[in-house]
Amino acid sequence: MDRRHFLATSVAGLLAAPAVHAYEVPEHLLPQGVRLRSKHTVGQIIVSPSTHFLYLITAPRRAIRYGVGVGKAGLNYKGSAVIGRKVVWPSWKPTPSMIERNPSYARWADGMKGGPNNPLGARALYLYRNGIDTAYRIHGTTEPKSIGRSVSNGCVRMINEHVVDLYARVPLGTSVTIL
């Protein structure tokens, strides 16, 4: 599909059902091959919250760049991690601090099953540090208009079709650096 016409649709669109709400992704947030000034390890993921981009390093000084949504000020994960778990249609359970910041999340304190209405979207890559789940994720979203903005509770959000693509490209153990 021509990337100019790439549509981020509701998760229902991934299931070949008609889109409930279509959203045309701004050109600069679409996946694209880019050249990098600095050298990184092939296969590594680099996230730049300040520019709202995630880079999957594909060759020396080359990457696929995806537009992302990131955490509100003070809520971003920073540092290195590895992908310790990958889940299709993940369930979601807000953390106690998320519920404290947004009491409406309390209705999901016991968790929400994965599916089209789940805020983690179609796929999730769980970030681990020293073998421990950080509670931060790279995941899809039910809010495609949040891509390119700093609005999440700290996770890295992607358009569902984009996270499905990334999920297929990276194995468990992939190194992730969030700047």
Residue from 40, 52, 155, 162 carrying the catalytic annotation: 155
**CATH classification of the domain holding 155:** 2.40.440.10
**Is 40 part of the annotated catalytic residue set?**
no
Query: Which residues form the domain of 169?
Result: 3-178
Identity of residue 32? Q
Per-residue pLDDT of 84-112, as tens digits, reads: 999 999 999 988 888 998 898 888 889 88
Summarised one tens digit per residue, pLDDT across range 135-169 is 999 999 999 999 999 998 889 999 999 999 999 99
Q: Rounded to an integer, what distance in angstroms lies between the CA atom of residue 88 and that of residue 174?
A: 17
Residue type, 61: R
Catalytic one among 40, 52, 139, 162? 139
The model's pTM is 0.84
Number of domains in the chain: 1
**Exposure string over 7-42, b if 16+ CB within 10 A, otherwise e:** ebbbbebbeeeeeeeeeebeeebbbeeeeeeeebee
* Residue 155 annotated in active site: yes
